[in-house]
């Protein structure tokens, strides 16, 4: 785990560490075409080795600053505990932030655990201030919510209800490039009027917060998220969707066992990754995530696909969700600011929130686009207005 480094030149535009057990630093300059003198000081610490640095040194050299010109400094073989780090840093303040440095890169043991279990918890990935900023922004969005009665869609993960409520409405099927509101069951009367305060009725907001809202765009494309994706070896990750999930107190809906790849299917499989951010504490009482460790290795049991144009409902399921042994599920309570990595094929669920506390989360999905076909049968499709944006900026 990278704990600290120091750069003597704050004008340095990009620093990345790359390689497997070999660690390097690539330096790129952002100035017009000329040679720039750069002094780079570095200190790396391995877990359990503090305060003595494992590698320490200084490098001074000239870097030509035309686009694409890079100078790489190979530091040393660090025994495999460091994998890959990529940070877009432009000020002294940003690279001194502890959470950025501590959480941006997965260790070898973390990578192995993710590969074995299909999910991984990274506590403290986001700060309390970042979580508050997301909550405040979503409050502003909800305050301006204006959903016509005929578009008020109740969200469900039960198959028949999904096909009836979401699969039959264009409001859901055309939401991939928009910010739209979806509601809990039982919050409307027969005429579509709210039976509870509107702000307490929302199940989720989706599916393009990452593209259209500046706060969620910054979170999605933050340097530490990009660094995390690089440490997983993603070459061309694209952001395919995003959601803000409310899990309302006392009636926030159950999410039945499922695999994300059932809805976000690729060929080959294994190219979809969910990043689930706990904006509030997720506990056993308010509906934390539950996983079946290792269940990402058995393929996809069912798929939700678009029906032919003009058909009703607009989606259907191929295959079926098998009965799951509840004893296989492992609860995963996390604190506010945690990030949970979710393999596209790992089976997971969450229970109804019967507590008096909400369990808000922001989640988005990445697809590794290199060598991958996004199924044209998926309900979610890129549009001319919003092609899937690349994660790396």
Give this prediction's pTM: 0.74
Report pLDDT for 150: 67
Q: Contact at 8 Å (CB) between 38 and 80?
A: no
Q: Is the pLDDT of residue 7 over 80?
A: no
pLDDT level of residue 100 (50, 70, 90 thresholds): very low
Report pLDDT for 174: 92
Between β-strands 348-350 and 315-319, what pairing exists: parallel, antiparallel or unpaired? Answer: unpaired
- Tokens read off for 69: 């010109």
16: which strand partners?
26, 86
Q: Is the pLDDT of residue 105 over 50?
A: yes
63: which strand partners?
36
How far is the C-alpha of 48 from the C-alpha of 52, rounded, in Å?
10
Q: Is the pLDDT of residue 202 over 70?
A: yes
42: which strand partners?
57
For 269, what's the count of Cα atoms within 13 Å in the CB-facing half-sphere? 16
How far is the C-alpha of 375 from the C-alpha of 345, rounded, in Å?
15
* For residues 291-316, average pLDDT: 90
Report pLDDT for 158: 53
In 10 A of CB 187, how many CB atoms?
A: 20
- Of the chain, the percentage scoring pLDDT greater than 90 comes to 58
- Tokens read off for 85: 């780090």
Q: Is the pLDDT of residue 45 over 60?
A: no
Summarize pLDDT for 338-372 with one digit per residue, the tens: 999 999 999 999 999 999 999 999 999 999 999 99
Report pLDDT for 87: 31
Report pLDDT for 186: 85
SS3 116: helix
pLDDT level of residue 130 (50, 70, 90 thresholds): very high
Q: Contact at 8 Å (CB) between 305 and 162?
A: no
Q: How far apart are the two ends of the chain, measured CA to CA in Å?
A: 24
Pick the CATH number of 101-146+203-374 from 3.40.50.720, 3.40.50.20, 2.60.120.620, 3.30.1330.10: 2.60.120.620
- Mean pLDDT comparison of 19-28, 55-64, 319-328, 355-364, highest-scoring range: 355-364
Q: Is the pLDDT of residue 103 over 60?
A: no
| Dihedral angle sign, alpha carbons of residues 114, 120, 124, 126 | positive
Q: Is the peptide bond before 268 cis (omega within 30 degrees of 0)?
A: yes
In angstroms, how far apart are the furthest CA atoms of the chain?
72
What is the phi/psi pair of residue 171, to 5°?
-60, -40
Which has the minimum average pLDDT: 62-76, 139-153, 291-305? 62-76
Q: Is the pLDDT of residue 308 over 50?
A: yes
pLDDT level of residue 78 (50, 70, 90 thresholds): very low
* For residues 79-91, average pLDDT: 29
Overall size of the chain counted in residues: 393
Report pLDDT for 328: 98
Report pLDDT for 104: 62
In 10 A of CB 8, how many CB atoms?
A: 13
Summarize pLDDT for 158-184 with one digit per residue, the tens: 555 544 554 347 888 999 999 999 999
Q: Is the pLDDT of residue 155 over 80?
A: no
How far is the C-alpha of 77 from the C-alpha of 362, rounded, in Å?
37
The ranges assigned to domains in the chain are 101-146+203-374
Report pLDDT for 144: 94
- Check residues 234 and 18 and name the one with the higher pLDDT: 234
pLDDT level of residue 299 (50, 70, 90 thresholds): very high
Summarize pLDDT for 251-274 with one digit per residue, the tens: 899 999 999 999 999 999 999 999
| Dihedral angle sign, alpha carbons of residues 111, 112, 115, 117 | negative
CA 250 to chain CA centroid, nearest Å:
27
Report pLDDT for 160: 55
In 10 A of CB 3, how many CB atoms?
A: 16
How far is the C-alpha of 208 from the C-alpha of 59, rounded, in Å?
43
Closest CA to 63 of 93, 109, 30: 30
* For residues 34-41, average pLDDT: 33
* For residues 102-114, average pLDDT: 80
SS3 245: strand
The residues near 122 (Cβ < 8 Å, ≥ 6 apart) are 103, 110, 228, 338, 339, 340, 341
238: which strand partners?
367, 390
Q: Is the pLDDT of residue 101 over 60?
A: no
Report pLDDT for 169: 72
Task: Report which DSSP code applies to 334.
Answer: B
* Arithmetic mean of pLDDT over the chain: 77
Complete DSSP assignment for 105-150: S--HHHHHHHHHHSEEEETTSS-HHHHHHHHHHHHHHHHT----GG
């Amino acid at each position: 785990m990278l704990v600290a480094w120091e750069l003597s030149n704050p004008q340095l535009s990009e620093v990345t560490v790359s390689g497997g057990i070999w660690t390097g630093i690539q330096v790129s300059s952002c100035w017009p075409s000329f040679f720039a003198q750069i002094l780079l000081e570095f200190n790396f610490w391995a877990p359990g080795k503090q305060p003595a640095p494992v590698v320490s040194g200084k490098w001074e050299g000239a870097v030509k600053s035309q686009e694409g010109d890079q100078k790489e400094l190979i530091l040393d073989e660090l025994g495999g505990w460091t994998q890959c780090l990529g940070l877009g840093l432009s000020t002294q303040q940003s690279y001194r932030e502890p959470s950025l440095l501590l959480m941006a890169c997965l260790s070898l043991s973390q990578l192995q655990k993710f590969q074995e279990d299909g999910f991984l918890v990274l506590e403290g990935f986001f700060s309390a201030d970042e979580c508050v900023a997301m909550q405040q922004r979503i409050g502003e969005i909800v305050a301006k919510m204006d959903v016509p009665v005929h578009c008020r869609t109740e969200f469900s993960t039960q198959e028949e209800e999904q096909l009836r409520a979401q699969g039959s409405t264009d409001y859901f099927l055309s939401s991939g490039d928009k910010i739209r509101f979806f509601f809990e069951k039982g919050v409307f009367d027969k005429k579509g009027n709210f039976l509870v305060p509107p702000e307490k009725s929302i199940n989720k907001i989706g599916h393009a917060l990452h593209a259209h809202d500046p706060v969620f765009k910054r979170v999605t494309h933050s340097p530490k998220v990009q660094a995390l994706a690089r440490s997983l070896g993603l070459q061309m990750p694209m952001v395919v969707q995003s959601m803000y999930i409310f899990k309302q107190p006392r009636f926030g809906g159950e999410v039945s066992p499922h695999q994300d790849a059932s809805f976000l299917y690729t060929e080959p499989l294994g190219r979809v990754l969910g990043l689930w951010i706990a904006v509030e504490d997720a506990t056993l009482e308010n509906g934390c995530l539950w996983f079946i460790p290792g269940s990402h290795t058995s393929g996809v049991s069912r798929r939700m696909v678009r029906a032919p144009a003009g058909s009703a409902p607009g989606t259907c399921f191929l295959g079926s969700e098998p009965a799951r042994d509840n004893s296989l599920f492992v609860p995963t309570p996390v604190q506010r600011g945690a990030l949970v990595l979710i393999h596209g094929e790992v089976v997971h669920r969450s229970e109804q929130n019967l507590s008096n506390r909400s369990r808000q989360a922001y989640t988005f999905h990445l697809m590794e686009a290199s060598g991958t076909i996004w199924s044209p049968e998926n309900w979610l499709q890129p549009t001319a207005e919003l092609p899937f944006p690349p994660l790396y900026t």
